[in-house]
Structure 1
């Protein structure tokens, strides 16, 4: 039992010390840019005032649920909202996937998107495989990952 507790505490401590890891609204989910991961990662930039973003959110929710064993979907609030303002927008849009608390563009060494919605497709090896502009659907996200997986 002591070994199990020690192992768990060590794991949590190491995870908390990972300077490359970005927190999300879900304390159990973090994003480590440019590092391998067992899943594909889809990062979607959104804003409450963006009509196509609002239309796209249900598709992202459905995609995240249907493919949870292969993909993790993360959001980024384009306006950089934090705290209660961020939570209010997440609730208003019914976002059901974790939202990054910091914009990952610097950590990913890319330019910050200038159009919304923008969606990054990141392969399990941590490489950005595609940047999609405009609203996505469950089908377009699956196709983007399939294309990126088979260049």
Structure 2
């Protein structure tokens, strides 16, 4: 009987450990050191924009993404992801140089989409559970982003 109790306790400890590890998993980190999960965010939808400094349309849309962020930051999270592999210092410099007012992703541990985009700019819309609901290619406006999100929410 004692061996059964010890075995059950060990199994329970193992299961709790696996649950804790999965619960604490970080999907990505921003340049300011904040850690995120795609499925967290207090029920907020997410906008993830891939950009590059050499991409003129990416830089042209940045003021619209800042405007979107300022108008909807309480209900929707927005993140910028560099298409180019840059270190945290380089990303922080880009954030300041182009006045990116929302979080810039420093490291990606997992992607809710299959692979990085093949063209820029590309924007992903994720629901509150972290599921990709829409992929948008080309420049986006603050108005188009909120219209797309509102349409997706009504489905």
Q: Does TM-score exceed 0.5, indicating one fold?
A: yes
Structure 1 gaps, min length 5: 1-13
Coordinate RMSD, CA, aligned: 2.0
Report the TM-score, using the length of structure 2 for normalisation. 0.78
Query: Please, which moves more after superposition, 74-83 or 17-26?
Result: 17-26
Q: Which residue of 2 aligns with 1:107?
A: 111
> C-alpha distance in 2, partners of 1:136/1:60?
8
Inter-CA distance 37–122: structure 2 relative to 1 (3 Å threshold): farther
Runs of 4+, deviation exceeding 3 Å: 34-37
Report the TM-score, using the length of structure 1 for normalisation. 0.80
| Equivalent pair of 2:88/2:106 in contact (CA under 8 Å) | no
Choose 1 or 2 for highest CA Rg: 2
Q: Which residue of 1 aligns with 2:76?
A: 71
Query: SS at the partner of 1:102?
Result: strand
> C-alpha distance in 2, partners of 1:134/1:109?
17
What does 1:1-151 correspond to in 2, within 5 Å?
18-27=24-33, 29-35=34-40, 37-103=42-108, 106-151=110-155
> C-alpha distance in 1, partners of 2:55/2:108?
17
Q: Can you list the C-alpha shifts for 1:80-129, whole angstroms capped at 9, x where unaligned? A: 2112221222211111111111246x431412101100001011122111
Number of residues paired by the alignment?
134
Query: SS at the partner of 1:101?
Result: strand
The alpha-carbon deviation at position 19 of structure 1 amounts to 2.1
Inter-CA distance 109–137: structure 2 relative to 1 (3 Å threshold): closer
Inter-CA distance 109–121: structure 2 relative to 1 (3 Å threshold): closer
The alpha-carbon deviation at position 34 of structure 1 amounts to 4.2
> C-alpha distance in 2, partners of 1:103/1:140?
26
Q: Can you list the C-alpha shifts for 1:12-51, whole angstroms capped at 9, x where unaligned? A: xx8xx82233111233x43212457421110000111100
> C-alpha distance in 2, partners of 1:54/1:127?
27
